[in-house]
Amino acid sequence: MSSKPGEEAIVSSYNETEDDGGGRSREDQGDNEDQSMFNVKSFLWHGGSVYDAWFSCASNQVAQVLLTLPYSFSQLGMLSGIIFQLFYGIVGSWTAYLISVLYIEYRSRKEKENVNFKNHVIQWFEVLDGLLGPYWKAIGLAFNCTFLLFGTVIQLIACASNIYYINDRLDKRTWTYIFGACCATTVFIPSFHNYRIWSFLGLGMTTYTAWYMTIAALVHGQVEDVQHTAPTKLVLYFTGATNILYTFGGHAVTVEIMHAMWKPQKFKYIYLIATLYVFTLTLPSASAVYWAFGDQLLNHSNAFSLLPKNAWRDTAVILMLIHQFITFGFACTPLYFVWEKVIGMHDTKSICLRALARLPVVVPIWFLAIIFPFFGPINSAVGALLVSFTVYIIPALAHMLVYRKASARQNAAEKPPYFLPSWTAMYVINVFIVVWVLIVGFGFGGWASMTNFVRQVDTFGLFAKCYQCKPAAPAALSPKSLHH
């Protein structure tokens, strides 16, 4: 699809005015992009290409949910699990496309008003504000920040859950304290430009983990008297479905990733291509682990708890720990930006001052991870109550409202895609997404996930010291682990 005049203005303005948070202007970066590849610091630190965006999207989409998808399959059954993955992957890619279109529209309008975004990172709630007004800004800010807050909480819970399978001398709550301190160091990473090497490594880590899970499950074979009874209960079925909705709803940071690109109008189909790659990781691993362990997964939301303890598994655990640190930074960086804007520190050049200002954001995340250490159930609850709106419903509604008038459609910076060259068809798809996610995702999913979540609280209590710590596989037993 050819660039529009509005897009060219965006690119021009980007190259002329913006700073990347690391002290270099876009003009310097754009003019010297090829030469910078030979500069070690630039190669590792400053990223804004299409490939950087792809790695960011793919790496951010599959983190700890890779370990909970077999648990979802045990609730849904094999066929439903595969169908829901394909369905939500495609729907998620569509709404990511809508977000990118709205971002381009917002930038195009602001460029015509000669607005300067130097040292300012545009975020989703600002796009909504500029296109639809303050009420939409408030809605977008509330949902997005709450989703990202609990997204980072999940990363801390996942870190503690994973490391426990290597070292059970400390309980999971203690590991949460430790990893909370480690993840707090993300305050020193200025922006999404600076995740180039981390995104690349993160995707490599999840790729290894996914294929380890697949191969390990196949080599292990089916456990004795394995049963695959799902689906059996509506509560479990919709809990599993909303966990998959959450899996492919990782684009709450889409605007920030686009803003970090030299040419953000090229983002359009990046999320779809990233999702297609993610399918090669999630479908084989979830299917193989569910095939091997069946209904045992209903009581083991983390797949590591059932796989045999050996060097391959320990390597996967360590790699996922590092990746979860990266994903914590991805989810928390937009929260850092919001907090900086609230306290007036967003345009500060000093990395150390900004890092100090960001620290209060980490404290409530740390605290919530200790209160609600429920790995799988919290994924489903966040998916139903937050992701359903943040990632699916709000972008679809916003797109329809922004282009509801003929004049807006005629002057749109982005026309409908070549494979769907009709505004009517776009409206039909958007209405379907809103209705489906509102009823199935938020309605049934919210009921099921909260019912399941409350059961976990009743069973284990708040501030649970070691959630689901009893090992199921004999190979994982140790004298110390029996005491948890």
Residue 21 lies in a domain: no
Q: Which pTM was predicted?
A: 0.80
Question: What pLDDT, on a 0 to 100 scale, did the predictor assign at position 27?
Answer: 41
In a domain, 2, yes or no: no
- Residue 179 sits in a domain of what CATH number? 1.10.4160.10
In tens, the pLDDT along 285-294 reads 999 999 999 9
Residues 6 or more apart whose CB falls under 8 angstroms from that of 211 comprise 281, 284, 285
Q: Is residue 475 part of a domain?
A: no
Q: pLDDT-derived band of residue 35, with 50, 70 and 90 as boundaries?
A: very low
Tens digit of each residue's pLDDT (9 = 90 or more) over 303-352: 888 998 899 999 998 898 888 888 888 888 888 888 888 888 777 777 78
Would the pLDDT of 21 be above 50?
no
- Which residues pair with residue 25 across a beta bridge? 19
Give the pLDDT score at 245: 86
Which of 276-290, 411-425, 445-459 is modeled with the greatest confidence?
Answer: 276-290
Q: What is the mean pLDDT of residues 178-203?
A: 78
pLDDT bracket for residue 37 (50, 70, 90): very low
Structural contact between residues 389 and 124, judged by C-beta atoms closer than 8 angstroms: no
Instruction: Give per-residue pLDDT as tens, 61-95.
Output: 877 788 889 999 999 999 999 999 999 999 999 99
- Residue 394 forms part of a structural domain: no
Confidence check: pLDDT of 26 > 50:
no
Residue 382 has pLDDT above 60, yes or no: yes
Distance of alpha carbon 180 from alpha carbon 361, whole angstroms: 12
Domain assignment present for 139: yes
Give the pLDDT score at 15: 41
Range of the domain at 148: 47-234+250-373
- The residues, any chain, with a CB within 8 Å of residue 364's CB and separated by 6 or more, are 149
Task: Look at residue 441 and tell me if it is in a domain.
Answer: no
Averaged pLDDT of the chain = 80
CA pair distance 477, 440, nearest whole angstrom: 40
276 is a domain residue:
yes
Taken in order 278, 279, 282, 285, the sign of the CA dihedral is negative
With respect to residue 256, please indicate whether it lies within any of the assigned structural domains.
yes
Q: What is the tally of structural domains in the chain?
A: 1
Task: Check pLDDT > 60 for residue 10.
Answer: no
- Residue 247 is predicted with a pLDDT of 82
Q: Where are the alpha helices (DSSP H) in 294-422?
A: 311-343, 351-371, 375-382, 394-402, 406-410
Q: Report which of residues 372 and 26 the model is more confident about.
A: 372
Instruction: Give the pLDDT of residue 469.
Output: 58
Residue 373, pLDDT score: 66
- What's the pLDDT score for residue 63? 73
The whole-number average pLDDT for the span 417-421 is 84
